[in-house]
């Protein structure tokens, strides 16, 4: 009996040890399995999402832009940039030196040839002219007296009343006064020229571009002094405007004299002007490796101003002014349009997938086709989509 009691006592729970060791070990095991399961789930999700990329690599494609273009742009063989330049332009200065007392024009004024633009102070020159005119009148009076005396002396000499020496004296006096008159006339003309040099006139019909001096400033030829002005105004003939564009030497063979062009001013990108190649300057710029080409306007308006930046399209076909004024249309390269079944489509890239877009096309131009509906300006589509490009296939830009 005593042994049985001892065995029963050994089956009692030893409450001296902590009761949570078993529970904590179980919790650790559960947490470990949970982490493993989460990692496995993430890996499966990643493999599913990357399946196409891993086993169906994306096709590399080229893109082209859908844009608004004028019909003539599709016929362009070359594009160049340049500036509007007046081929007849003058910086008008004075021939004399003096204080500016009158300036009759400002920027934008139209002037006629020989119109008085400005005048310098000329009081001292006018005083010299008055003195020269008074001397001339005095000489003319003396000449009349000397001429009458010479004629009388000739009559008396013919009558043997006076000697030959007396006649010679009268003739010498007459010729001396005559020479003095000629000298006085030359001096008067010189002073009149100096007086005219104090007047600044327009050299041709044109428009005042800049005003470089103000009333009260000293004006001198070539701005001889530190505080003096040279050019009073700058005038340009607005009927002589041309675009001077630089064309690369490697492309100059595409340009011919008289070739039709389309001119667009950066200030008015929606307005186009018909032009033509007026001159190919027979020299190259060594530093830029370019040749200057002067492009004339067939017709233009008051919006065209000197020194405006412009773009020139050199066209391969002759264009009339009416063709240039045709509004731009939405175009894309012909190579971007493909036929799938009974419809024309293009492919856009959305989320690295090719998406088929049906389109309605219009007129065809050189290498381009008009888009009537289905696309918008600025969108990019796949260029030259082959048979392997279908809706939903993975693609990426080269």
Check: CB of residue 49 under 8 Å from CB of residue 287: no
Classify residue 206: in a domain, yes or no: no
Co-location of 320 and 351 in the same domain? no
Cα–Cα dist 138/28, whole Å? 136
**What's the mean pLDDT when you consider all of the chain?**
85
Least confident of 8-22, 86-100, 182-196, 199-213: 8-22
Classify residue 317: in a domain, yes or no: yes
Residue 268 sits in a domain whose CATH number is 2.40.30.170
Looking at mean pLDDT, say which of 42-46, 303-307, 387-391 comes out highest.
303-307
Classify residue 278: in a domain, yes or no: yes
pLDDT at residue 133 is higher than 80: yes
Q: Helices in 159-303 by DSSP H: which ranges?
A: 164-196
Query: Considering its fold, how many domains does the chain have in total?
Result: 4
Residue 361 sits in a domain whose CATH number is 2.40.420.20
Percent of the chain with pLDDT over 90: 43
Co-location of 350 and 282 in the same domain? no
Co-location of 79 and 31 in the same domain? no
Classify residue 204: in a domain, yes or no: no
- Higher-pLDDT residue of 328, 326: 328
Co-location of 340 and 302 in the same domain? no
pLDDT at position 252 is: 92
In the DSSP assignment, the letter for residue 45 is: H
Classify residue 161: in a domain, yes or no: yes
**Burial, 9: exposed, middle or buried (Cβ in 10 Å; 0-12, 13-18, 19+)?**
exposed
Residue 171 sits in a domain whose CATH number is 1.10.287
pLDDT at residue 322 is higher than 50: no
Least confident of 37-51, 57-71, 165-179, 333-347: 37-51
Residue 50: both structure tokens together = 């990357």
- Residue 267: phi and psi, rounded to 5, are -75, -30
Classify residue 53: in a domain, yes or no: no
- Higher-pLDDT residue of 262, 26: 262
Classify residue 192: in a domain, yes or no: yes
Give the structural domain span for 14: 2-47
Co-location of 77 and 127 in the same domain? no
- Higher-pLDDT residue of 115, 224: 115
Co-location of 281 and 346 in the same domain? no
Classify residue 107: in a domain, yes or no: no
Listed residues 303, 324, 345: the one ending a domain: 324
> Measuring CA to CA, which residue among 265, 262, 261 is closest to residue 277?
261
Listed residues 296, 324, 352: the one ending a domain: 324
Listed residues 324, 347, 368: the one ending a domain: 324
């Amino acid at each position: 009996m005593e042994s049985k009691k001892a065995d029963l006592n050994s089956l009692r729970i030893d409450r001296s040890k902590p009761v949570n060791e078993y529970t904590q070990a179980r919790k650790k095991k559960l947490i470990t399995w949970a982490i493993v399961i989460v990692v496995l789930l993430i890996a499966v999700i990643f493999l599913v999402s990357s399946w196409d990329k891993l086993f169906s690599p994306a096709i590399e494609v080229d893109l082209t832009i859908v844009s608004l273009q004028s019909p003539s742009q599709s016929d362009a063989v070359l594009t160049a940039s340049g500036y509007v330049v007046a081929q007849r332009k003058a910086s008008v200065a004075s021939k004399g030196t003096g204080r500016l007392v009158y300036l009759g024009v400002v920027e934008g004024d139209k002037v006629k040839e020989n119109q008085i633009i400005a005048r310098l102070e000329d009081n001292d020159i006018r005083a010299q002219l008055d003195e020269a005119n008074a001397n001339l009148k005095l000489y003319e009076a003396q000449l009349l007296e000397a001429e009458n005396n010479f004629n009388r002396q000739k009559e008396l000499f013919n009558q043997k009343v006076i000697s030959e020496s007396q006649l010679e004296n009268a003739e010498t006096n007459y010729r001396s006064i005559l020479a003095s008159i000629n000298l006085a006339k030359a001096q008067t003309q010189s002073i009149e020229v100096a007086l005219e040099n104090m007047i600044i006139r327009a050299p041709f019909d044109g428009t005042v571009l800049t005003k470089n001096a103000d009333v009260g400033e000293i004006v001198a030829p070539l701005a001889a002094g530190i505080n003096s002005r040279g050019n009073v105004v700058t005038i340009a003939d607005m009927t002589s405007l041309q675009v001077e564009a630089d064309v690369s030497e490697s492309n100059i063979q595409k340009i011919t004299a008289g070739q039709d062009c389309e001119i667009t001013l950066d200030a008015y990108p929606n307005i186009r002007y018909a032009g033509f190649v007026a001159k190919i300057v027979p020299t190259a710029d060594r530093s830029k490796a370019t040749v200057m080409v002067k492009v004339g306007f067939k017709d233009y308006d008051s919006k065209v101003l000197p020194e405006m930046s412009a773009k020139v399209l050199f066209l391969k076909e002759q264009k009339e002014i009416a063709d240039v004024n045709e509004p731009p249309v939405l175009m894309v390269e012909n190579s971007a349009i493909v036929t799938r079944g009974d419809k024309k489509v293009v492919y856009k890239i959305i989320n690295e997938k090719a998406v088929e877009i049906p389109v309605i096309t219009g007129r065809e131009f050189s290498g381009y086709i008009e888009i009537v509906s289905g696309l918008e300006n600025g969108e990019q589509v796949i260029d030259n989509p082959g048979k392997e490009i279908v809706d939903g296939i993975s693609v990426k830009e080269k």
